[in-house]
Structures are given as C-alpha cells and as structure tokens.
Amino acid sequence: MQTLTIIQPDDMHLHLRDGEALKAVLPFTARQMGRAVIMPNLKPPVVSVADAMAYKARIMDALPPNSTFEPLMTLYLTDKSTPELVREAKAAGIVAFKLYPAGATTNSDSGVTDLFKLMPVLQEMAKQGVLFLVHGEVTDPEVDIFDREAVFIERVMKPVLQQVPDLKVVFEHITTADAARLVMEAGDNVAASVTPQHLLLNRNDLLVGGVRPHRYCLPVLKRESHRKALVEAVTGDNAHKFFLGTDSAPHARSLKENACGCAGMFSAATAIELYAEVFDKAGALDKLEAFASKNGARFYGLPENPRSITLIKQPCPVEAAIPFGDGEVLVPMRGGEQVAWTVQY
C-alpha cells in the first residue's frame, strides 16, 4: 500500500462563514490544515481591524478541543479603505487585504468599484508588507463570463503591477492558462493559489448532461485546455509560485439546488486527498508537499508547520451530505462518491 508523509499543509484561501455554519465546517479544516487564510466576505463584511479580531475570536471559540489550528485574518478592501487602515492592520497582525470587484462573487456587493482610485492604499500595502489577495475577474456585463479572468489581467492586473511593482500579490483561485502564464512571468512578488476543482474539473463537468449546481463556483470552471495548463503550472519548473488554496465555500443545499443556485464548492472535508489525486495522476507526488505545505508559507513569510500528516492510497467514501446548522445540510465536493487517497488520522 502506497503511503505519503508530508509537512502539515496550509489552506491559503478558505471561507468559514459564521455562526452555526462556522461551527459545522471548521473542524474539517482544523483536522488536516495547520493554518488557513480566512476570507472576509461575511454579511456584513470584515472591513475593520475590530471586525477581524472579533471574527478571529469566534473562530477560536469554535475550534475542537486541543486544536493547534491558526486562522490568518484578512480585511475586505472597499472604496473607503485608507492607508491608515493598512497600517492599523499590519500592527494587528492581519496578513492581507482581499479585493472583490463589486458584484463578482458571493457577498461582494461592498466590493471595489474602481481599483485605480485606491492606488495610495496599494502603495501603503507594499510599504508595510501586507499582501494583496485578488479575485481576478472583471464584472463588465459585456464580457463573457468565461473571459472575465483573462480580461481582468489586461485591464487591471498588469497596470497595477506596473504602477506598484513592489506589491506582494496573490492571484487567487486562478482558472486559466492566461493567469498561470502571468504568474510565471511576473516577479517573485506575485504568486497564485489554485483550487482542487479547477485542477480536477472542466466546464463539461458542470454543464454536460444537465447543470450540476454543486459544481458551480466563481470563477466558473473553464475549458479542459485551461485545466491542463493549471496542472502543468503546479507541477512544472515554476511550481514554487503556486500553492494550495481551496476556496472551499460552504452553502446550504437548499441554496445550491434552486432556480438561482449560488456559487461555491465545499472541498474542505477532503481537501488534501483531492489534491493528492491531482499530483498522483500527473506523476508528481513528490511535488505535493511543496505545493501544499511550503510554497504558501514561504510567500506569506511564515515558518513551515511543525507537524506532519500521512496519506494512504486507499479509496475512501465521501459523505453525501453534512449537517450545516438550522436543519440544513451541505453537499461536499465528491459527496456520495469517493476519493482515491485517505488521510491517516
């Protein structure tokens, strides 16, 4: 039986929600990840240092007993964000600001309407060493949803990198060959997180045979050629610029399976197992540890986790549904099916 022991991974892009939902999903991440970068798009969003510290306290209170998991807090960038807020965030230990273009994804109504008006804020982030996490899509209604990321690169990402060349940027949940190429060609101040769904699935998996709401996420799944390009990126010569970020985004089944089903895939229940499949199929299991446990920590300026986990190549069933508070359930990625690897807890 094949086994693989790696340094305990980190999830550099995670949605935990709040309240009962937080309590339901947090244990899945806490049992396999050492740390996670927590997304701030709550209702209302996490826009101040006080908001972030209060949210962190709720996360810590919801952890299982004796857990060593550490949440890394972020702030939601808005049109009202200021350089002074950046300095306050740095002093409080907040690791990053997150850009949500207004209307781009779940709870993004308070997002930025014109990033170029916030150049003083981005310049202060570069000065303070606070990371800039980017949901890289335009929301222009004339742009095809499958082209939003590529257009964002030309209209926004490249000009920002030219105007603030020292800004440390994470291009979040990249989905295209265009984004992978940008990251590989950029300086060492630019990296990217990659999700399990964008490494394992393409848009046929979402649309062929009927719309599959539990595979609907934003950014939306792309062509097979883009999926292959992402796999090549995380396993290739510039793989040090890419790291694990699940974008695990829990939604109640009732909100996914309706006429206006919301975007997001919950992968935290079997995150590292899904990534192991990707690297195994690519013949690159020897590169999984760097992607999952080293690259992200290095880019964020963090030490590697002191613990390790062991994966066994042995099929494991995935629960069809998980309790989600208030009588609701959520359907995890691969729910009712199985993963090819199992974590030895």
Q: What is the DSSP letter of 57?
A: H
247 is in an annotated binding site: yes
23 is in an annotated binding site: no
C-alpha closest to that of 261 among 223, 206, 209, 326: 206
173 is in an annotated binding site: yes
Residue 256: both structure tokens together: 């996914």
226 is in an annotated binding site: no
274 is in an annotated binding site: no
SS3 299: helix
Question: Where are the alpha helices (H) located in the chain, listed in sequence order?
Answer: 19-32, 49-62, 83-91, 119-128, 148-152, 158-163, 177-185, 196-200, 203-207, 224-235, 253-256, 271-281, 288-289, 295-300
Choosing from 140, 247, 280, 326, the catalytic residue is: 247
Task: Write down the residue that tokens 């090819």 correspond to.
Answer: 340
Question: What span, in angstroms and rounded, lies between the C-alpha atoms of 101 and 137?
Answer: 7
Per the CB < 8 A criterion, the answer to whether 172 and 135 are in contact is: yes
Residues near 236 by Cβ (< 8 Å), separated by ≥ 6?
none
Question: What span, in angstroms and rounded, lies between the C-alpha atoms of 128 and 195?
Answer: 28
135 is in an annotated binding site: yes
Active site includes 178?
no
Direct distance between the N- and C-terminal alpha carbons of the chain, in angstroms, rounded to an integer: 16
SS3 143: coil
41 is in an annotated binding site: yes
Residue 135, by phi and psi: left (phi above 0), alpha (psi -120 to 50) or beta?
A: beta
Known binding-site residue numbers for substrate: 15-17, 41, 135, 218, 251, 263
Known binding-site residue numbers for Zn(2+): 13, 15, 98, 135, 173, 247
Known binding-site residue numbers: 13, 15-17, 41, 98, 135, 173, 218, 247, 251, 263
By annotation, the residues acting in catalysis are 247
